[in-house]
Amino acid sequence: MTDDLLTHVDDVLPWHVNLYEDLHRNPELSFQETRTSGLVADRLRNLGYTVHTGIGGTGLVGVLVNGPGSVVLARADMDGLPVREESGLPYASTTTATDPQGRQVPVMHACGHDMHISCLLATAQLLAEHRADWSGTFIALFQPAEELVAGAQAMVDDGLADLIPKPDVALGQHVMGLPYDTVASRPGAALSASDSIKVTVHGRGTHGSMPHLGIDPILLGSAIVLRLNAIVSRELAPGHFGVVTVGSFQSGTKSNIIPGSAELLLNLRSYNRETRSLLRAAVERVVRAECDASGCSAPPEFDDYQSAPLTQNSPEVHNKVFAAFANRFGDKAVLMEPSTGSEDFSDIPNALGVPYLFWIWGGFDPDTYRTAEADGTLSTTIPGNHASTFAPVMEPTMRTGIEAMTTAVMSYLAKDANNA
Ligand SMILES: [Zn+2]
Ligand SMILES: [Zn+2]
């Protein structure tokens, strides 16, 4: 039955290519996806979906009930990034927008979320137009502000659970800076948990020539940076994944002033709860101990200002969907390496209490990015997500994305799948 639906991809592809080019030309920043969600809502209504808009800001869902069977939720994210596009595409963005700080910034779909929207809408269309091929309920969810790791939780907090039937499974996908001949999934931890912490340490300001009258927060901060870098190498068991990065260290204004305080921005990555709490506890212990060693004027402050949940795929869902991928894509379906990137997708299934799968697929022709090295070898430098040159090729990326999403959904909703 699945193959029946996929034989119609060519019928829906041109409309979605047009939509993709339109979305790519007109990206919107996180929580500003008004035009995008309007387009999506109109399309879902025309296809016969029951649509709820304005969930968590610009989020929306379309629900299609088509007889008894499983309830499947599939999610796409909608936001662009403050990046000036340098892709050279004929449909490149020249859009600007006002960011939350009031600055005018360029905006680009540099993470491929426009591809996610187009592919999920195409799956929604295939299901709406071929209802005899499946049975159950399909929920297409479009979330804002993935790039702020905030949009999924915003939809949950705004009562998502009361607007939709409880799903049996949730699905999501991401196009990546990888060769286009890959669709990759894995059971268990697929994307890392991410935690950002602002640490403020308080010394005592003084003249640069009279250090004995003060407590130097720059020396203190430097000791903290060095010591934090020992957490992963000395406290985490070899072979376990963890990252502790100090991404910003700000203090002082002038060479002859010892400032009063310093601010450090930290980012932690982990693949399980134990490592996550080990890293967080070690950071706090190290900072407090170094502040004590310096005789600080006040205790340090910790502001946990942004975190992304662990993306931990259900082995059962992976096994079912990956078998369907292998059937569909042959050796293009591969096991995914765990990624150090992060996502907020899992906030939705976690809140609804349902198992989930998040997979990735490649969007780039490696031949385009092959360069000859001085020694005669060839190397491939495909742009990563968020690069100003991030530009998935239309063919076959969109077709693969539509086929992957539809295949995964149909592994639950095809008439012969319901009894499985
Ligand atoms: Zn991104
Ligand atoms: Zn993304």
CATH of 193-308, one of 3.40.50.620, 3.40.50.880, 3.30.70.360, 3.40.50.300: 3.30.70.360
* Per-residue pLDDT, 203: 97
Task: Indicate the pLDDT class of residue 376, thresholds 50, 70 and 90.
Answer: confident
Going from the Cα of 74 to the center of ligand 1, the distance in angstroms, rounded, reads 18
Single-letter amino acid, residue 233: S
Ligand of minimum distance to the alpha carbon of 147? 1
| Alpha carbons 19 and 43: distance in angstroms, whole number | 10
* Per-residue pLDDT, 415: 87
**111 is known to lie in a ligand binding site:** yes
**113 is known to lie in a ligand binding site:** yes
Average pLDDT over residues 36-51: 98
Q: Token pair of 389, please?
A: 């040159």
* Per-residue pLDDT, 419: 46
Going from the Cα of 205 to the center of ligand 1, the distance in angstroms, rounded, reads 40
| Alpha carbons 118 and 14: distance in angstroms, whole number | 11
- φ, ψ of residue 33 to 5 degrees: the values are -80, 50
Query: Angle at CA 106, nearest 5°, toward 103 and 109?
Result: 130
* Per-residue pLDDT, 418: 56
Task: Indicate the pLDDT class of residue 416, thresholds 50, 70 and 90.
Answer: confident
Ligand of minimum distance to the alpha carbon of 194? 1
Query: Angle at CA 79, nearest 5°, toward 75 and 82?
Result: 155
Q: Over the stretch 289-315, which tens digit does the pLDDT of each residue have?
A: 999 999 998 999 999 999 999 999 999
Going from the Cα of 79 to the center of ligand 1, the distance in angstroms, rounded, reads 9
Going from the Cα of 108 to the center of ligand 1, the distance in angstroms, rounded, reads 11
Going from the Cα of 118 to the center of ligand 1, the distance in angstroms, rounded, reads 17
**At which residue do the structure tokens 């996806």 appear?**
33
Ligand of minimum distance to the alpha carbon of 113? 2
- φ, ψ of residue 58 to 5 degrees: the values are -100, 10
Three-class SS state of 254? coil
Average pLDDT over residues 30-58: 98
Residue 27 pLDDT > 90: yes
Q: Over the stretch 206-237, which tens digit does the pLDDT of each residue have?
A: 999 999 999 999 999 999 999 999 999 999 99
Q: Are 387 and 177 in contact (CB under 8 A)?
A: yes
Going from the Cα of 385 to the center of ligand 1, the distance in angstroms, rounded, reads 6
Going from the Cα of 119 to the center of ligand 2, the distance in angstroms, rounded, reads 14
Helix ranges restricted to H, 91-145: 113-129
Going from the Cα of 358 to the center of ligand 1, the distance in angstroms, rounded, reads 14
Going from the Cα of 221 to the center of ligand 2, the distance in angstroms, rounded, reads 33
Ligand of minimum distance to the alpha carbon of 114? 2
Going from the Cα of 113 to the center of ligand 2, the distance in angstroms, rounded, reads 6
* Per-residue pLDDT, 420: 46
Ligand of minimum distance to the alpha carbon of 143? 2
* Per-residue pLDDT, 177: 87
Q: Is-cis flag, bond preceding 396, omega within 30? A: yes
Going from the Cα of 386 to the center of ligand 1, the distance in angstroms, rounded, reads 6
Q: Are 196 and 265 in contact (CB under 8 A)?
A: yes
The CATH code of the domain at 2-191+310-413 is 3.40.630.10
Q: Over the stretch 87-140, which tens digit does the pLDDT of each residue have?
A: 999 999 999 999 999 999 999 999 999 999 999 999 999 999 999 999 999 999
Going from the Cα of 83 to the center of ligand 2, the distance in angstroms, rounded, reads 13
Ligand of minimum distance to the alpha carbon of 148? 1
Going from the Cα of 147 to the center of ligand 1, the distance in angstroms, rounded, reads 5
Average pLDDT over residues 248-276: 96
Ligand of minimum distance to the alpha carbon of 174? 2
Domain ranges of the chain: 2-191+310-413, 193-308
| Alpha carbons 148 and 77: distance in angstroms, whole number | 11
Residue 3 pLDDT > 90: no
Q: Are 281 and 197 in contact (CB under 8 A)?
A: no
Going from the Cα of 216 to the center of ligand 1, the distance in angstroms, rounded, reads 38
Average pLDDT over residues 154-160: 98
Going from the Cα of 269 to the center of ligand 2, the distance in angstroms, rounded, reads 17
Ligand of minimum distance to the alpha carbon of 175? 2
* Per-residue pLDDT, 314: 98
Residue 2 pLDDT > 60: no
Surrounding residues of ion ligand 1, Cβ less than 5 A: 111
Going from the Cα of 110 to the center of ligand 2, the distance in angstroms, rounded, reads 8
Going from the Cα of 103 to the center of ligand 2, the distance in angstroms, rounded, reads 23
Q: Token pair of 53, please?
A: 């808009």
**240 is known to lie in a ligand binding site:** no
Mean pLDDT of the chain: 95
Residue 146 pLDDT > 50: yes
Ligand of minimum distance to the alpha carbon of 75? 2
Three-class SS state of 237? coil
